Structure 1
């Protein structure tokens, strides 16, 4: 195990922690505005709970490597533009674009955890491999749910949008 490999791994774990914090913020904003899409709101709220659990699990990996929280690298800036696109929307078709953006962000998380699993395997860190596999499975489930439900959300939006006097955007 090279020290350089461990340094990269810890950087990526810190990035994952910041990514989960960003995900929580985006999902909370989305859930707070969803009024007319109860299935989507329920699934987003469920994933907020999962995301909070992910933060604890990722922090446990950081803690095992005795890394100070004060040196956590914050990558929120790297993904804040994306977060604004998903979390800060107030456009008419916000719910549809939010569902699409949510799916894209889930795939970013899946890719990040796939890389972390490979790095943890390289370091023979089986505990981290297990943690990241567990998190990745939940991210995959959310990505599949959003993709499978996108047609329903889109149809609901179009029907609401075509109905006079009915708000469609949230």
Structure 2
């Protein structure tokens, strides 16, 4: 049975809403643990707030289409975000693993928002791409921030680790 373009778009929006639930959990868990990386802690705190606004934008679009997010998907991805953060918490190089995972996750979100813009246009939703572009640009800025801070994070980690100090978070 064929699925309509509109239905595909709505599923993509529901997935994006759930993805932002996961992003919020990932950021919050990391913020709670970061001690020796204050700049990263602050940027992740800010990005959790951006992710909340992104989730609100997606909800606004879903409502304009006469539907809403999937609570089940949101719950599932929130749990995944918590589990991912806990897995890295057990590692000595937690901050390094989180940095790699965050960089990859931001690019996943970038691809998701780019796809949603294409879907919106295909579904004839001319009003929503502006909102989706806002979220896309925020994700690009976060990915850029991580990219720019990768080397300093690695250097800080090695410095702390080689001095026998708490280095992972």
Q: What TM-score results when the alignment is normalised by the length of structure 2? A: 0.90
Instruction: List 4+ stretches of structure 1 deviating above 2 A.
Output: 75-88
**1:17 Cα deviation from its structure 2 partner:** 0.1
- C-alpha change, 1:137 and 1:68, in structure 2 (3 Å) is closer
> Take 2:74 and 2:128, find their aligned partners in 1: how far apart are those partners?
21
Q: Deviations over 1:25-55 (max 9, x none)?
A: 1110011100110111111011011001001
Q: Is structure 2 residue 128 aligned with structure 1 residue 145?
A: no
> Take 2:115 and 2:72, find their aligned partners in 1: how far apart are those partners?
18
**1:80 Cα deviation from its structure 2 partner:** 6.0
Q: How does 1:108-123 map to 2 (within 5 A)?
A: 108-123=108-123
> Take 1:27 and 1:103, find their aligned partners in 2: how far apart are those partners?
12
> Take 2:143 and 2:68, find their aligned partners in 1: how far apart are those partners?
32
The alignment partner of 1:126 has SS state of: coil
> Take 1:68 and 1:52, find their aligned partners in 2: how far apart are those partners?
16
**1:68 Cα deviation from its structure 2 partner:** 4.2
**1:123 Cα deviation from its structure 2 partner:** 2.1
In the comparison of the two structures, how many residue pairs are matched? 167
- C-alpha change, 1:73 and 1:85, in structure 2 (3 Å) is closer
Q: Is 1:50–1:138's contact at 8 Å kept on the other side of the alignment?
A: yes
Q: What TM-score results when the alignment is normalised by the length of structure 1? A: 0.90
Partner of 2:156: 156
Partner of 2:25: 25
Residue segments in structure 2 that go unaligned for 5+ positions in a row: none
**1:128 Cα deviation from its structure 2 partner:** 1.1
Partner of 1:36: 36
Q: Is structure 2 residue 127 aligned with structure 1 residue 127?
A: yes
Partner of 1:89: 88
Greater shift in the superposed pair: 80-89 or 13-22: 80-89
**1:131 Cα deviation from its structure 2 partner:** 0.8
